[in-house]
Structure 1
Amino acid sequence: MRRVAPRPVGPRWRLRLEVALFVTPALALMAVFVAWPVVSAVRMSFYRWKGFGPMDDFVGWRNYQRVLSDEVFTDAVMHNFMIVIASVIVQLPLGLLLAMLLNRRIVGQGLLRTIVFVPYVVAEVIAGVVWFQLLQPQYGVIDHLIEMVGLTPPEQGFLGTPDLALPTVFVVLTWKYLGLAVLLFLAGLQSVPDELFEAAQLDGAGWWQAQRRIALPLLGPTIRTWLFLSMIGSIQCFDMVWVLTQGGPANATTTMATYLISEGTQRHNYGIAGAASVLLFVIGFVLALVYQVFVLRRDREVLR
């Protein structure tokens, strides 16, 4: 019976040591800046605490009951889901259409791609301040342009009118993040072999038929990935809303993130803010888990 030579142990331990050296700093940063704040927020959510002195006023689940019974928070949850749904209805077809057009050989293609993608590169705070100035009632550029065409802008401005504030914020969000959708879809389109489109043309298919029958089905994984990123981003929406309206007017644009910041930094109800942050984390985690299990599962099975 032939003896099997034992495998060398040295390279395996060297590989494990190299992995540990590369992974340990990332895990340490995750523990300090992600895990510990989450644990602290969960602990804070069970206390009534104003930010001064020790946390010794334990109230149990009372903070969660107060948050869930607060109409402002429930409206904030509804606003977040309205942004999610509006993103799918508006940004998805618009992003696909722009990506398909920019994928064609046209004059100034590179410049057009840059113009579409530049808003996504601009920082949220800078973009929010610029749009806040543009949307100022009576003195803003937007109101001036509306008056030039013979229309009357809202007296309180688009951001100061409760019925128009959230749609206006969504328009700004679409302007800001549409470039990401176009970039992802354009990358997906460029990965489609040209031979497929050439074969479709030989069979008599037009440009739109080729896009509908070939490009869109092959873009399925890219679209599902963008939907996941858009959903998570809409749930966590904060920067642009805070700069434009801070959740106003009359809580018309409040999101879950602006609610917990307002309760924590402005009203000093850190226990309430902790409970709201935990609920935001749970909602985002459940949505991400459900999406991963029921939507992205097919893509993972194909990769296997």
Structure 2
Amino acid sequence: METSGKGAGPVGDTSSAGPRTASPDVMAMRRQDQRRKWGEIAFFTGPGLILFALFVLFPVASAARYSLYKWNGIKKFSEAEFIGFENYARALWGGNDPATREAFKTAYTEPFWEALSHNLLIIVASMAVQLPLALLIALVLNRKFPGRSFVRVVIFAPYVISEVIAGVMWFIIFDPNGIATKFMESIGLNAPSGGWFESQTWGIWTVFFIVTWKYLGLAIILFLAGLSGVPQELQEAASIDGASWWQVQRRINIPLIGPTIRIWVFLSLIGSIQLFDMVWVLNRGGTQGQYATIATFMMQFGYFRKDVGFGSAVAVIMFLISLIVAVAYMLTILRRDNDNSELAR
């Protein structure tokens, strides 16, 4: 046919075969949209990033710098003696100098590892006691009964109380002549000799009891929030099929709030590593460090013993432990929840 060789019409039109270039106006609009998008990002995230750099990155960098020096925090930092990683060595194994290693082990290393063991004990006890207790209370409070809202408020109230107020209150209760001691005597039991907090056996467990009272409400509220998102139809269907109350909880509710439980575990891990306020109010971790944590140990040496370099080294170690635990937990545990949320989309 003659029309096939003329190049006329859609078949022979080659003008549309090549790439189309946007007009200058379209390109200008695209650049303007890009600038506006980055401007919005800078506007909303800029203040947060500035605060993060000012109150997180800068203190961490400063602590890492101070940890390399022998400095009491009083004289000028320019006069401080550079000792490299000696502060870290003193905390971990007693230092690099054989002449002072044994003395430093007693003064620095043993108290450091003892404080770290208290953090680990609180972590293990939290997973073994707080987690099942909070989950059980949340499952019970998830049922409808008169006064449920009031009970929830009462349980959550300790969490919103200041650590200082709560610590002073419990310090008075567990005083050698306090209510707890008199109660033990009234039921025929002997209270710890020398006081609850001064006991090598009961000191750390008394602190754990107070920490559990203080922070258990947060776990319960988080679990209740997760339970509120469980479809009621699933529970009703299981009940119609003959499932008991406990079977409904074990087969439906608990698995479906798994992400909430794992988030609480993450918060509990980091909080236990950095535990300071409550322990510090309760006699600064004990007169002999019976329940001292890494944070209170750092405060004792860095502030009261005027060894800012060593205290900064302990702070950096605590930061690294928290960072490693957080990254490992997110990559191994929370990553599965993130992957599932992406697949749900």
| TM norm. shorter chain > 0.5 | yes
Alignment correspondent of 1:168: 206
Q: How does 1:67-82 map to 2 (within 5 A)?
A: 67-69=91-93, 70-82=109-121
Pick one of 26, 44, 69 that aligns with 1:22.
44
Q: What letter corresponds to residue 87 of structure 2 in structure 1?
A: N
Alignment correspondent of 1:107: 146
Deviation at 1:147, TM superposition (A): 1.9
The question of 1:243 aligning with 2:281 is answered: yes
Q: What letter corresponds to residue 237 of structure 1 in structure 2?
A: L
Alignment correspondent of 1:149: 187
Q: Count residues in correspondence.
A: 303
Q: How does 1:65-144 map to 2 (within 5 A)?
A: 65-69=89-93, 70-138=109-177, 140-144=178-182
Counterparts of 2:20 and 2:288 in 1: how far apart (Å)? Answer: 80
Is the CA contact (8 Å cut-off) linking 1:256 and 1:276 kept in structure 2? yes
TM-score normalized by the length of structure 2: 0.85
The question of 1:48 aligning with 2:70 is answered: yes
Counterparts of 1:60 and 1:3 in 2: how far apart (Å)? Answer: 62
**Aligned partner of residue 182 in structure 2, secondary structure:** helix
Q: What letter corresponds to residue 115 of structure 2 in structure 1?
A: A
**Aligned partner of residue 292 in structure 1, secondary structure:** helix
**Aligned partner of residue 212 in structure 1, secondary structure:** helix
Pick one of 33, 52, 60 that aligns with 1:38.
60
The question of 1:218 aligning with 2:256 is answered: yes
Question: Structure 1 residues 247-256 or 179-188, which shifts more?
Answer: 247-256
Counterparts of 1:141 and 1:220 in 2: how far apart (Å)? Answer: 39
1:206-261 deviation per Cα after TM superposition (whole angstroms, max 9, x unaligned): 11110001011111111110000000000000001111131214211111000110
Alignment correspondent of 2:224: 186
Counterparts of 2:296 and 2:112 in 1: how far apart (Å)? Answer: 10
Is the CA contact (8 Å cut-off) linking 2:88 and 2:310 kept in structure 1? yes
**Aligned partner of residue 162 in structure 1, secondary structure:** coil
Q: 1:98 to 1:54 in 2, by over 3 A?
A: same
Q: What letter corresponds to residue 98 of structure 1 in structure 2?
A: I
Counterparts of 2:233 and 2:250 in 1: how far apart (Å)? Answer: 16
1:195-216 deviation per Cα after TM superposition (whole angstroms, max 9, x unaligned): 0000001100011110001011
Pick one of 20, 26, 32 that aligns with 1:3.
20
**Aligned partner of residue 291 in structure 1, secondary structure:** helix
Is the CA contact (8 Å cut-off) linking 1:245 and 1:253 kept in structure 2? no
Deviation at 1:4, TM superposition (A): 6.1
- Higher Cα Rg: structure 1 or 2? 2
Q: What letter corresponds to residue 158 of structure 2 in structure 1?
A: P
Pick one of 311, 327, 337 that aligns with 1:273.
311
TM-score normalized by the length of structure 1: 0.97
Alignment correspondent of 2:11: none
Counterparts of 1:245 and 1:97 in 2: how far apart (Å)? Answer: 33
Deviation at 1:28, TM superposition (A): 1.4
Is the CA contact (8 Å cut-off) linking 1:99 and 1:186 kept in structure 2? yes
Q: What letter corresponds to residue 141 of structure 2 in structure 1?
A: L
Alignment correspondent of 1:297: 335
Counterparts of 1:108 and 1:241 in 2: how far apart (Å)? Answer: 34
Counterparts of 1:4 and 1:181 in 2: how far apart (Å)? Answer: 58
Counterparts of 1:62 and 1:28 in 2: how far apart (Å)? Answer: 33
How much identity, in percent, do the aligned residues show?
Answer: 47
Pick one of 88, 92, 106 that aligns with 1:64.
88
Deviation at 1:25, TM superposition (A): 1.5
1:56-94 deviation per Cα after TM superposition (whole angstroms, max 9, x unaligned): 310001111001121100111111111001000000000
Greater RCO, CA 8 A, separation 6+: 1
Is the CA contact (8 Å cut-off) linking 2:198 and 2:290 kept in structure 1? no
> Tell me, which stretches of 5 or more residues in structure 1 are unaligned?
none
Counterparts of 1:223 and 1:4 in 2: how far apart (Å)? Answer: 54
Deviation at 1:154, TM superposition (A): 1.8
Counterparts of 2:340 and 2:148 in 1: how far apart (Å)? Answer: 33
